[in-house]
């Protein structure tokens, strides 16, 4: 029982982050920085624990990025609509990227029967955007730091797209040979 709990701990953390992230839309501004920081730390912690405990699962490959996307989307929405600290177009760009990646991952999962893994540029984007959101929630102006966020967003989007296209192409090519 105990080893089963430890083995599932990363998925439990991702699930809790997924469930709690929408609360950022309703919490008072004074608790938002601490609350979002805890969510962001849980993101780093679940990945670390999954590797350390050798508890990487197909469920975790779906749950963790989904929880990340919900956490970041809620954080950006607060920064755009509640704090007026980020431009609205960035929210739309973020949603577009995430929808594209979710659809692409779904397609690859259906074709390959395995969930695509996270990529370095996606992790860089997630870390940097979490950092910016925390600064916004603390009342710090991110005007000078913001420009990197769209660059990381587009770079990660292109990286995932190119890898996904290569996988689809190789899958199509190998199935044509069969």
Q: What is the pLDDT of residues 148-160, one digit of tens each?
A: 999 999 999 999 9
How high is the pLDDT of residue 23?
Answer: 97
Residues of the chain falling short of pLDDT 50? 1-2, 173, 176-178
Query: Is the Cβ–Cβ distance between 32 and 137 less than 8 Å?
Result: yes
Query: Is the Cβ–Cβ distance between 72 and 128 less than 8 Å?
Result: no
How high is the pLDDT of residue 84?
Answer: 96
Could you read off the pLDDT of 108-150 as tens digits, one per residue? 888 876 677 788 999 999 999 999 999 999 999 999 999 999 9
How high is the pLDDT of residue 176?
Answer: 47
How high is the pLDDT of residue 3?
Answer: 55
Question: What is d(CA 156, CA 161) in angstroms, rounded to the nearest whole number?
Answer: 8
Tell me the pLDDT of the chain averaged across its residues.
89
């Amino acid at each position: 029982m105990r080893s089963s709990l430890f083995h599932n701990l990363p998925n439990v953390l991702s699930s809790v982050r997924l469930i709690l992230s929408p609360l950022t839309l309703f919490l008072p501004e004074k608790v938002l920085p601490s609350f979002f920081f805890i969510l962001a730390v849980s993101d780093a912690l679940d990945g670390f624990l999954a590797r350390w405990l050798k508890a990487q699962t197909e469920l975790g490959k779906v749950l963790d990025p989904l929880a990340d996307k919900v956490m970041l989307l809620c954080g950006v929405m607060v920064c755009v609509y509640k704090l007026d600290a980020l431009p609205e177009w960035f929210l739309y760009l973020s949603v577009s990227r995430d929808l594209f990646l979710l659809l692409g991952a779904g397609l690859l999962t259906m074709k390959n029967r395995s969930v695509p893994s996270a990529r370095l540029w996606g992790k860089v984007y997630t870390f940097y955007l979490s950092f910016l959101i925390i600064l916004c929630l603390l009342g710090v102006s991110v005007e000078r730091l913001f420009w990197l966020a769209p660059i990381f967003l587009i770079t990660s989007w292109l990286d995932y797209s190119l890898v996904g296209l290569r996988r689809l192409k190789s899958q199509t090519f190998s199935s044509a040979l069969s």
